[in-house]
Amino acid sequence: MGLALLLSVALAEKLKWYELSNSYTFEKYLEHYGKQYKHEKEYKMRKAIFESNLHSILLHNKDETKTWKEEINHLADWTEEEFARVKGYNKRMALNSKLARSESKDKRVPPKPMKASDLPDSVDWRTQGVVTAVKDQGKCGSCWSFAAAETVESHWALAKGQLWDLSEQQILDCTSNPQHCGGSGGCSGGTSEVAFASIVSAGGLSSEWTYPYESHGGQNNPKCSLLSNFSTTAPVKISNFVVLPENEYLPLLTAVAAGPVAISVDASSWRFYASGVFNGCNQTNPDLDHAVQLVGYGTENGSDYWLVRNSWTPAWGEAGYIKLLRTSEVQCGTDLTPSDGSGCDGGPATVTVCGTCGILYDSTYPVI
């Protein structure tokens, strides 16, 4: 059975949060998700993780003060280390790219923010035929390449009327990082800004069909596979990219009203999100660790939200999406570990990060 069919089956049959109870066993879970563990030691370890997560999810869903629900999903028996790999945003690389942009003479100034009253009450780019189906980055820290490719897809469709599935693998394989900020890119992490710069340098971005994704298991490809004449044959090209002012509400609201945006967030508490308006991040000390695509905004049950597309399969969350609490009164926190990992030196010891899950800190989109 192919991956796409497996995902559609999982989405159709997944246990809804309101159907979950203590009677849902690890054995049922393994059957449901087509998993098996042949070695007894690993089986016991995975079962213990699953049962701990099940207990925590059931307690969460009993709490009537929560505005979102949680559910069991394909991540329920993963270790914390395995879960960390499905994020892949590297803050040190982001800090370096911000410094580089501030010194660049060729940077695009974002449009002047509009008043909120001049913008639509809600936006959902999924309904406009400019957003491809939810994807699966697997166990590779390639979220940054997915957020970038997806946002190029959307802006190309808005500009040209053609919606392509574009290649995350090209970005992973062909994006250089000469300053070795946070590693060498690929499954080791990166940022959408670095990805957009790579697409401009390469002369365009391949289709998914011609340069398919092969890093699902967490492996990096050894070399870039672009042809020497790729810049003349690339199906999709971008000329530059726009970086929004950090930690400001109206510029992001204005930008997403005109088209999807690649954003960076703290997704450490998203693991079992099922539905509703999420407000469960650490707002005091958010830890940015994931790149995703912002595709709209709206209001649900009196709570304003940002509509965010993830890359953890359509069986996660609301068919692959999450609604994050949206407030015009910007709330900020301090990221205490902006220099996590190995890489560039010289970054600040702490970083101010604003918005739910840090959504306002680092936002960008391509120029077609």
Domain around 29 = 3-77
3-state SS assignment for residue 332: strand
Looking at every residue in the chain, the average pLDDT score rounds to: 87
The last residue of one of the domains, among 57, 77, 97, is 77
187 plus 54 within the same structural domain: no
Region of 183 on the Ramachandran plot (φ > 0 left; ψ -120 to 50 alpha; else beta): left
What amino acid is encoded at 242 in this protein? V
Strands 321-325 and 273-278: parallel
CB 182 within 8 A of CB 190: yes
The last residue of one of the domains, among 47, 77, 107, is 77
Q: What CATH number is associated with residue 103?
A: 3.90.70.10
- What are the pLDDT digits (tens) for 55-112? 999 999 999 999 999 999 999 999 999 998 888 766 666 666 555 554 444 445 677 7
Reference 267, options 287, 284, 248; nearest CA is: 287
- What are the pLDDT digits (tens) for 214-242? 999 998 887 899 988 899 989 999 999 99
Distance CA(194)–CA(171), nearest Å, equals 9
205 plus 120 within the same structural domain: yes
Reference 360, options 317, 321, 328; nearest CA is: 328
148 plus 287 within the same structural domain: yes
267 plus 317 within the same structural domain: yes
Phi, psi angles (nearest 5°) of residue 200: -60, -45
Catalytic residue numbers read 143, 290, 310
Distances in whole angstroms, Cα of residue 139 to Cα of each of 67, 78, 223, 244: 29, 11, 20, 29
Q: Which residue has the higher pLDDT, 337 or 159?
A: 159
Distances in whole angstroms, Cα of residue 290 to Cα of each of 32, 86, 203: 27, 8, 26
CB 309 within 8 A of CB 134: yes
